[in-house]
Amino acid sequence: MERIVLGYDGGPAAVAALSWVIRRVNRRVARIDIVSVVPTHAVDRSSSLEHLEAAEARLRDQARGTRVGLHRLEGDVADGLAGVVDDADILVTGINLGRPVRAKLAGALPVRLSARADVPVVLVPSDWTETGDPVTVGIAADGSSDAALAFAAAEAEILDVPTRLVHSWLMPTPRFAEPHAVQPTPESVAEGHSRVLDRASVWVLGHYPRAAVCTELVRDVASGALLSYADRSSMLVMGTRRLGPLAGSLFGSVTQEVLWRAECPVAIVPSSSRPRRPRIGSA
């Protein structure tokens, strides 16, 4: 049985994340562990228990039969949540959009989580509402998005929505140091990038034959390409190389550009994440 860990503090974004989890377990049975981490410096320590009990009551009322566990921890929130996901399949928490500067000063919890957790992290905005839009996944040319593609295709199947594959591209820098070099045309560059999407589409249909798949080749930076579909997606999915905790702290990175502006849930999937289906190269 799938295990979902929900980071919960009772705020509006956490409530939205709880709603997302309820919608999810009503489509696919899962065990839910609700975790409240009280910061060491917090003055109010009693409200966390009330928040946990309220979340449990709502889950039992709206997702009957779901196995629910409650956990109250103390210390650093990112460390606490990342430390309880060893055997989990997904970590879910809320995010308040449009606050990158304040978040940076506070330690950018969502980015720290996605950098530290060894499982996919789903970040749900506080104003989230359910839609029937496709699950959109960013496709890289170097294989770093393989696990993200597998996650996105599985989520699309659960939600019974199409999988949208998005690949961004830009013209390479001209090689002026080689005066006789033939410079590529936009058409030839785009054709090469389109093959990246073709391979990803073949993989999805090979493992999900009944899936609806659409591909989008976008001439833009990666963050801009993904964000152009944020208001038309049930979820945006991005892969990460997981180069270490500091990798996610680079302010202005593609991850943060998308996180603070996306109007739908965003899933950050480490390349080392356990695939739900055979890896793309093994099809």
Q: What is the pLDDT of residues 112-165, one digit of tens each?
A: 777 778 899 999 999 999 999 999 999 998 888 999 999 999 999 999 999 999
Q: Which residue has the higher pLDDT, 120 or 186?
A: 120
**Strand pairing report for 163-169 and 213-219:** parallel
Q: What is the pLDDT of residues 3-57, one digit of tens each?
A: 999 999 999 999 999 999 999 999 999 999 999 988 777 666 678 889 999 999 9
Q: What is the pLDDT of residue 43?
A: 61
Q: What is the pLDDT of residues 217-231, one digit of tens each?
A: 999 999 999 999 999
Q: Do domains 1-95 and 130-283 have the same CATH topology?
A: yes
Q: What is the pLDDT of residue 271?
A: 81
Q: What is the pLDDT of residue 175?
A: 65
Answer yes or no: CATH 3.40.30.10 is held by domain 130-283. Answer: no
Is residue 230 a contact partner of residue 167, using CB atoms and an 8 Å limit? no
**Strand pairing report for 135-138 and 121-125:** unpaired
User: For residues 189 and 169, what is the distance between their CA atoms, to the nearest angstrom?
Assistant: 8
Q: Which residue has the tokens 């055979």?
A: 278
Is residue 76 a contact partner of residue 39, using CB atoms and an 8 Å limit? yes
Q: What is the mean pLDDT of residues 175-194?
A: 76
* Model pTM score: 0.86
Domain boundaries, the chain: 1-95, 130-283
What topology is assigned to 1-95 in CATH? Rossmann fold (3.40.50)
pLDDT at 252 over 60: no
